[in-house]
Amino acid sequence: MIALLAFYLFATLTIASAVLVIFARNPVHSVLWLILGFFNAAGLMLLTGAEFIAMLLVIVYVGAVAVLFLFVVMMLDIDFSQLRSGFNRNLPFGLLIALVLLSEIVIAISAYSAGPAFAHASGAPPANALPNIEALGAMLYGQYLLPFELAGLILLVAMIGAIVLTHRSRGDARPQKVARQIRRRPEDAVKMAKPAVGEGVSL
Please choose, out of 65-73, 84-92, 99-107, 165-173, the segment that lies near another protein by the rule CB under 8 A: 65-73
Show Cβ contacts of residue 34 under 8 Å, excluding neighbours closer than 6 positions. 17, 21, 66, 69
Distance CA 55, CA 46 (A): 8
Q: Among 109, 132, 112, 107, which residue's Cα sits nearest to residue 48?
A: 132
156 binds another protein (CB under 8 A): no
Per-position b or e across 58-82, b if 16+ CB within 10 A of its CB:
beebbeeebeebbeebeeeeeeeee
Q: Cα–Cα distance between 34 and 149 in angstroms, integer?
A: 31
Please choose, out of 21-29, 84-92, 102-110, 111-119, the segment that lies near another protein by the rule CB under 8 A.
21-29
Residue 56 found at the interface with another protein (CB under 8 A): yes
| Cα–Cα distance for residue pair 23/14, rounded to 1 Å | 14
Specify the residue, 71 or 80, whose C-beta has the smaller distance to another protein: 71
Q: Is 182 a binder of another protein (CB under 8 A)?
A: no
The answer to whether residue 144 forms part of the interface with another protein (CB under 8 A) is no
16 binds another protein (CB under 8 A): no
Output 59 or 153, the one with its CB closest to another protein.
59
Closer to another protein by Cβ: residue 124 or 196: 124
- The residues that touch another protein, with contacts defined as CB under 8 A, are 1-2, 26, 28-29, 32, 35, 51-52, 55-56, 58-59, 62-64, 67-68, 70-71, 74-75, 131-133, 176, 178
